[in-house]
Structure formats: structure tokens, C-alpha cells
Structure 1
Amino acid sequence: MFDRLSAYAPQALAVLRIVTALLFILHGTQKVIGFPAMEGGTPPLMTLFGAAGLIEIVTGILILVGFFTRPAAFIASGTMAVAYWMVHVGMGGLIPTNNGGDAAILFCFVFLYLVFVGPGAWSVNKK
């Protein structure tokens, strides 16, 4: 049974890439244009939060369509590592469930995985 499932690994990787990118784009649009609405309002664009939002939108779109996936995922992964250590640790210590950083950690490691494996199926660039 598992051998038959392995045949669909490239498509499963593409689904992981696409869903993760869509969620990442939402985090970016929340910071840049205020959609979906976030507590405290939209931060100014020329701040660290605004820059993070732009990075999330641009790299998220690239990852979504599978174009320059590896470099975009590398930048996105680094952005999430910085977000965790600069923002979330200061909000409640090192425990991700206490500081709200669990999404940042998941994004960081899913994107780091994409750096190594590439986009999978259904991408503009096949490698």
C-alpha cells in the first residue's frame, strides 16, 4: 500500500507547497493591507513588520506558483526564524505555544524543507 502512495509524493509535496504559500500570503496581506483584519491595525509599511509583510507576499506568491521556489523558500525560512527570535521569544519566552510562535516555526521548517526538495509537481519551474 505504501509503495502505491509513494508514487504520489510529488503531488503531495505540491499540495504542501501550495497550502503553505497561501497561508503565508495571508499573513503578509494582513500586515500590508489589513486583510484579514488584525488586532492593533495595519503596521506602517516602512517598519520591520511592514517589510516582513512584503517578504511574505512576494516569497509566498513565488512559492505558490513554483517559480524560484528554492531561493524564495530560503528567504521565507530565514524571515520566519528572525520573526521567532526577534518577536515571539520576547512575547512569552522560548515555548512556542506560550509565545504564539508555533506558526513561525512551522513556516520556517516547511520552507527550509522546500529549499532542499524543490517545488514538486504543478510548478512553473520543475527543479
Structure 2
Amino acid sequence: MFASLNNGFSRLSDHPDFAKLLLRLTFGILMLFHGAFKLQHGVGWIGGLLAQHGLPAFIAYGAYIGEIVTPLMILIGFMTRPAALIYAVNLVVATLLVHTADFFTRTQVGAWKLETEALYFMGGIIIMLLGAGRYVLVSNPRLQ
């Protein structure tokens, strides 16, 4: 009985390409909120953080790539795998610049303080590994 219920549920819910689309939409849209903030307020404060680490401030403009360009590429399915890798690397850089002291810190409710950053990072890695799926605006599979 349980096997037949499980098989029936599996047939109804087996939509990997739609799942890939939902994953891309979720992480692409959520990261665009961060990108919109950068468009409104600039990246000068990131340049200051980079300068404190002895890095050139112009690298801060990479936030526009990681938080606007790559999420848009992920959303439309254009060069999804490389875009997702850049997305994930952007998260690593942002975390190292802003949250290095939080690696071994928990919140007041016991959660890891970097769980949001880890979720975004892993979302990028998972999208990179899965690819765009069938539902894309770019139909050339070699570009996905």
C-alpha cells in the first residue's frame, strides 16, 4: 500500500526541469534585491572594506556583476553554469569581507550566523551543478 502511494506521488511530483526553474527563480530574484540596493546606494563602502584588506577599491564594482548580471543570467537561463559559479564566488568574497568574525558565531536562537550566506552560496553551487533545465529563454544547451 505504501509503495503504491509512493509511486503515485512520485509520478505526480516528478518534474525536474520545473524544479530547476523554481530554484533559478528563487535564487536569482532574491539576489537581485541585493543588487538593487547596490544600484541605489553604490559600492563605495565595499571599496573601503577592500582597501582595509590591501586590495584595490575598483574590485567593489564586481558586486554589480555578482548581484545583478549573474542573477539575471541565471533567471533567463543564459550561460547558467558559469553565471552560478560567479554568483557563488561573489558570496564567498562578500562573506570574507563582511562576516569573517561570524564563522563560529550563533544567533540568539541558536542558528549559525552565516546560514543565509551559506544558503546563497550552496544555491549557486547547486544551480551550477544542475544547469538551467528545459525552461530557458536561450535554447542552445551548450550555453547553459
Q: Please indicate, yes or no, whether the TM-score normalized by the shorter chain is above 0.5.
A: yes
Distance in structure 1 (CA, Å) of the matches to 2:106 and 2:11 = 35
**CA displacement at 1:121 relative to structure 2:** 3.0
- C-alpha distance 26-117 of structure 1, shift in aligned 2 (>3 A): same
8 A contact 1:70–1:114 mirrored in 2: yes
**1:27–1:60 CA distance, 2 compared to 1 (3 A):** same
Contact 2:81 2:128 in 1 (8 A): yes
**Structure 2 residue runs without a partner (length 5+):** 1-8, 48-58
Alignment length (residue pairs): 118
- Kindly report the root-mean-square deviation, in angstroms, between the aligned alpha carbons of the 2 structures: 2.5
Structure 2 match to 1:10: 17
User: Which SS does the other structure have where 1:33 is aligned?
Assistant: helix
- Superposed, 1:95-106 pairs within 5 Å as 95=105, 97=107, 100-106=113-119
TM-score by length of 1: 0.77
**In 1, Cα distance between the equivalents of 2:74 and 2:27?**
9
Q: CA deviation at 1:100?
A: 5.0
1:80 equivalenced with 2:91 (yes/no): yes
Q: Alignment identity in percent?
A: 26
**Greater helix share, structure number:** 2
> Which residue number in structure 2 is paired with residue 37 of structure 1?
none
Aligned-partner SS, 2:17: helix
Match of 2:56 in 1: none
Contact 2:103–2:114 (CA<8 Å) still a contact in 1?
Answer: no
The TM-score with structure 2 as length reference comes to 0.69
CA distance in 1, matches of 2:97, 2:112: 12
State which of 128, 135, 138 in structure 2 corresponds to 1:115.
Answer: 128
Counterpart of 1:60 (choices 57, 71, 84) is: 71
Flag the 1:77–1:15 CA change in 2: closer, same or farther, 3 A. same
SS at match of 1:122: coil
